[in-house]
Copies of this chain bind each other. A is one copy, B any other.
Amino acid sequence: MEEQKYCYKYPHPAVTTDCVVFGFDGHELKILLIERGREPYKGYWAFPGGFLNMDENATQGALRELAEETGLKLEHIKEFGTFSDVGRDPRERVISIAFYALAKKSDLQGGDDAAKAQWFPLNEVPRLAFDHDYMLRKAMQKLKEDIHFEPIGFDLLGDSFTMPELQRLYESILGVQFDRRNFYKKMLQTGILEEIDEDPSTAFFGSHREMRSMSIDALFGTPKPSPSYSTSRQSDDDSRRRKRTRFSFNKKRYDEFKEDHNFRLEF
Residue positions of A touching B, CB distance < 8 A: 2-15, 51-52, 54-59, 79, 81-82, 84-86, 92-93, 95, 97
Contact = CB atoms under 8 A, between A and B. Distances in A.
Interface of A is mostly: loop
A258 B15 CA distance: 35
Nearest to A176: B262
21 contacts: A2-B9, A3-B9, A4-B7, A4-B8, A6-B12, A7-B7, A8-B8, A8-B14, A8-B92, A10-B14, A12-B13, A13-B15, A13-B52, A15-B15, A15-B84, A54-B86, A54-B93, A58-B82, A82-B82, A82-B97, A84-B97
Given A79-B81, A82-B82, A95 B11 contact: no
Contacts of A7: 4-8
B8 A12 contact: yes
Contacts of A3: 9
A15 B95 contact: yes
Given A10-B51, A15-B95, A57-B85, 13 more contacts: A4-B7, A5-B9, A6-B12, A7-B8, A8-B92, A12-B12, A13-B52, A52-B95, A54-B93, A55-B86, A79-B81, A79-B82, A84-B97
A260 to B, nearest CB: 15
Contact of A14 (B12, B85, B93): B12
Contacts of A85: 57
Given A84-B97, A97-B84, A11 B79 contact: no
Contacts of A8: 4, 6-8, 12, 14, 92
A95 B58 contact: yes
